[in-house]
Amino acid sequence: MRVLVIGGGRNSEHEVSLASAAAVSEALRATDHDVRTVTIGRDGVWDAAPDASPAGSLAAAMPLLAWADVVFPAVHGALGEDGALAALCALADVPVVGSGPRAGAIGMDKHATKLVARDAGIATAPGFVISSSAIGDVEFEAPVVVKPVSAGSSYGVSLVREPGELLDALRTAARFDDRILIEEVMRGREIDVAVIREAGGVRWAAPPLEIHAAGLFDTAMKYDGSARFTVPAALTAAETGMLSRAAVTMFDALGCAGVARMDFFLADAGPVLNEVNTMPGLTAASQAPRMFAAAGVSYPELMDRLVRAAVSTTGELRSSSGRVPASETRRGARAHAAGARR
């Protein structure tokens, strides 16, 4: 298939997204897909027209979307993972790898995710949201975690143990979002579970991964090579079952597609959801691909499955609504044009 891979992005996870996009492109080429790439700069300019404005460069990139059978938006964080690129593809009527606009938007909003989890019967850490304009009114009662409501890769996240640390933590979070989430510190093992929706709609959870971190698993630890992972995590069958069921339940409650990573604390009372990543890191060394590798799914095969699932899911939705798949419409138009030339 013709696959357009989008990387970069106008947010703090730009470099991480570049790495994911490069790895995804290489893997898809290895599985015989026809791959083109486009990068969104930190300034919002697409490299299809690097000297244009963000709007002009996006217009220049439109022929790439028209060319593609499927778009793989390997962009983490705001204006990417939050459903913005999925919405663009929906408007262009092009299948997209991963979750749609609604799941992306809710999954990126940590407070909204907590509300969905609560209604789905999944525990979350007690907490509340404040506006960045009210940071001077917050009082310290116990150790808390302070985080932006919508940001990824732990940017802006702080563990606050002493009252004198709170204001700086709130100001740090406010650099990334004008809404700030303050949560009680959870005690438990940090366990991630990746869930995939295959072509045909089957969802399943890969073997859980445990993060070994002394203190907060912050941005530096995620990317400086110091983090230690165990996959499969050393869990009982009952613990694995609880985590896998909670992960698939959350995947379905949000309406996710493609692959999503659910991050939990395994407390004495059971799994506590920390957050959801609807477009997790996707290099071969990232957590989600490691989990699927433990299930016997190689990195190139995983990327191929995601592309095929995206086309299959889009086809299912269009068939149920009586619409002709856009890929078939484009192929018909190309054949008609070729016939006219002959």
Residue 280, C-beta contacts closer than 8 angstroms, at least 6 positions apart: 76, 194, 259, 260, 261, 286, 287, 288
- CA gap 198, 298 in Å, rounded: 15
- CA gap 218, 223 in Å, rounded: 9
Question: What pLDDT, in 10s, does the model give residues 145-203?
Answer: 999 998 766 788 889 988 888 889 999 999 888 999 999 998 899 999 999 999 999 99
- pLDDT at 225 > cutoff 70: no
Question: What pLDDT, in 10s, does the model give residues 168-181?
Answer: 999 999 988 899 99
β-bridge partners, 181: 129, 147
Is the CB of residue 66 less than 8 Å from the CB of residue 5? no
**CA atoms within a 13 Å half-sphere pointing along the CA-CB vector of 205:** 23
The pLDDT confidence band at residue 333, using thresholds 50, 70 and 90, is very low
Q: Does the global pTM surpass 0.75?
A: yes
Residue 82, C-beta contacts closer than 8 angstroms, at least 6 positions apart: 104, 105, 108, 109, 150
